[in-house]
């Protein structure tokens, strides 16, 4: 077994007008993309032990991991911006992921079945991106997430907000889109005592009602919305 390879880098983005930082672990196996929470950066999942939780899988060549930076500090976490501007900026991040980041990772790995992981705000981002661009991911893992954009927009609503609210737009998708979403492995989970547990339960119901297979877990008797729980459960779903 080889020691885990760790490389830091930057990916230029035309859509964002800057370079996006990342940390890449390993060089073989299925790609696991880790998004940060709220105002976190590319080092967050490493610092809180998520990378360490799957280190043996990286060293064995089962997976490779990339921890990607976000622009949350310049969008959702910026209290000086109104909801329409936050949505506009997040849409640029969505375009970066879809048109720049995932084509780049597919070229580097020679595979087009990445796992996209996120927790809390990152869980919303992971699930929303997968629902909007199902051809870009093979599995999505959303821990302790929410799936209604109103959680972020203070009840501001628009067509743009609707299309970043997967609990809403999946409910109205036609059969062709549902078939595409059904090819993704959906993992939705949190603790029984999480204040967002009903978001998890409701989103799982939305998926099932449309005939989309989903693996839902509500961890009994625990809060679940914290790093030790995410660290404990993530290895079961990668790869």
**Which CATH number is 133's domain given?**
3.40.50.1820
Q: Which residues pair with 185 in a beta bridge?
A: 139
Whether residue 185 is contained in a domain is answered as: yes
Answer yes or no: is 198 within a domain.
yes
User: Which of helix, strand or coil describes residue 211?
Assistant: coil
Task: Give the number of domains in the chain.
Answer: 1
In a domain? residue 32: yes
Looking at residue 1, its pLDDT comes to: 56
- Where the chain has pLDDT below 70, the residues are 1-2
Assign 52 to helix, strand or coil: helix
| Residue 217 falls inside a structural domain | yes
Q: How far apart are alpha carbons 131 and 116 in whole angstroms?
A: 12
Which residue segment(s) compose the domain that 223 sits in? Answer: 6-237
In a domain, 37, yes or no: yes
pLDDT, tens only, 192-237: 999 999 999 999 999 999 999 999 999 999 999 999 999 999 999 9
Residue 99 lies in a domain: yes
What is the pTM for the complete model shown? 0.97
1 lies in some domain: no
Task: Let me know: does 153 contact 161? Beta carbons within 8 Å.
Answer: yes
Q: What was the pLDDT predicted at 3?
A: 79
* % residues pLDDT > 70 (the chain): 99
């Amino acid at each position: 077994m080889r020691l885990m390879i760790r490389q830091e880098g930057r990916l230029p983005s035309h859509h964002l007008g800057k370079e996006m930082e990342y940390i890449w672990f390993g060089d073989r196996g299925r790609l696991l993309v880790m998004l940060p929470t709220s105002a976190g950066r590319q080092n967050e999942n490493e610092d809180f032990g998520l990378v360490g939780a799957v280190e043996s899988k990286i060293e064995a060549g089962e997976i490779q991991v990339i921890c990607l930076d976000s622009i949350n500090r310049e969008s959702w976490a910026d209290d000086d911006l109104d909801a329409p501007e936050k949505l506009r900026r997040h849409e640029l991040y969505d375009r970066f992921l879809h048109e720049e980041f995932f084509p780049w990772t597919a070229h580097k790995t020679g595979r087009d079945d990445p796992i996209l992981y996120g927790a809390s705000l990152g869980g919303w981002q992971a699930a929303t991106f997968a629902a909007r661009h199902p051809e870009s991911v093979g599995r999505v893992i959303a821990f302790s997430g929410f799936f209604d954009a109103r959680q972020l927009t203070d009840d501001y609503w628009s067509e743009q907000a609707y299309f970043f609210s997967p609990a809403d737009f999946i409910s109205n998708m036609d059969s062709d889109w549902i078939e595409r979403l059904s090819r993704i492995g959906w993992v939705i989970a949190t603790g029984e005592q999480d204040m967002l547990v009903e978001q998890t339960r409701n989103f799982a119901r939305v998926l099932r009602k449309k005939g989309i297979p989903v693996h839902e877990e509500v961890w009994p008797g625990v809060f679940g919305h914290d790093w030790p729980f995410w660290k404990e459960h993530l290895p079961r779903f990668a790869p």
